[in-house]
Amino acid sequence: MTPQKLKPIAVAGASGRMGHTLIEAIWAADDCHLAGALDMTGSAALGLDAGAFSGRVTGTTVTDSLHVGLQGASCLIDFTRPEGSLAHLKVCRELGVQAVIGTTGFTDAQKSEIRDIAQDIAIVMAPNMSVGVNVTLKLLQMAAQALSTGYDIEIIEAHHRHKVDAPSGTALKMGEVMAQAMGRDLKQCAVYERYGHTGEREASSIGFSTIRGGDIVGDHTVLFAGIGERIEVTHKSSSRATYAQGSLRAVRFLAAQKNGLFDMFDVLNLR
């Protein structure tokens, strides 16, 4: 494959755990190449080759300059923080660079800003880029429609000790998908905390439980508890590589898009 046909990709948060995983995946893909590597000002990785962590020479230097890091890239993959991702997207719009956003924890106002930016560039944004997780979301949509009455729904999620937002973006997406399938508003039926005398469980509620510890990559279980039976739908991630592979599928999907805001259901044709 000639270099002209390779998809030039920039990675935000290049020195982080997910950044390293993305760089490895791009290196291994025969239709992609690393065109830019971004990191925060003050990062020890600045000025180093983006592949230095693995002993590889990619020819791409880690930089804190958005314009330098995005120069020559057709798409940015970003798994950083909401404020950083928004700043990156604004420069992407300026330069005409597409974006795959795996960042979680956006506020409603920030999501509105992203929708506005997507009028000018194509963006795939999803709280979880894993193909398996998104197939799980489709299964949950179907289950919620069939089990909308007589079953109590609880979402239990576990992640590593470094995760800063709770519940996880994936858990919230699971709740949104199921609530929508049942004609409910998650903002009205979600229960995030239980302590003390809580009273009986509200039948229409969707409960969330959060676990943080160790190096858990990401576990999610949805429990449908009925009378005389329980149904559990579980997805467990053992490696961040699944998020990277899903991100590259999103990059390939965006190659045919001019503008608009998409998610992994669009990428995987799960509509």
List the domains of the chain with CATH numbers.
3-125+240-267 (3.40.50.720), 131-237 (3.30.360.10)
pLDDT higher than threshold 50 for residue 1: no
Catalytic residue among 7, 159, 173, 220: 159
CA distance 60 to 39: 13
Q: Is 163 a catalytic residue?
A: yes
- 199-257 per-position pLDDT tens digit: 999 999 999 999 999 999 999 999 999 999 999 999 999 999 999 999 999 999 999 99
Q: Which long-range contacts (CB under 8 A, 24 or more apart) does 50-56 make?
A: 50/11, 50/14, 50/23, 51/23, 51/27, 53/15, 53/20, 54/20, 54/23, 54/24, 56/27
Count H helices and E strands in the chain, helices first. Answer: 9, 12
Q: How confident is the model at residue 271 (pLDDT cuts 50, 70, 90)?
A: confident
Q: Is 33 a catalytic residue?
A: no
* % of the chain with per-residue pLDDT over 70: 98
Q: CB 214: neighbour CB atoms within 10 A?
A: 9
Whole-structure pTM value: 0.86
pLDDT at position 3 is 44
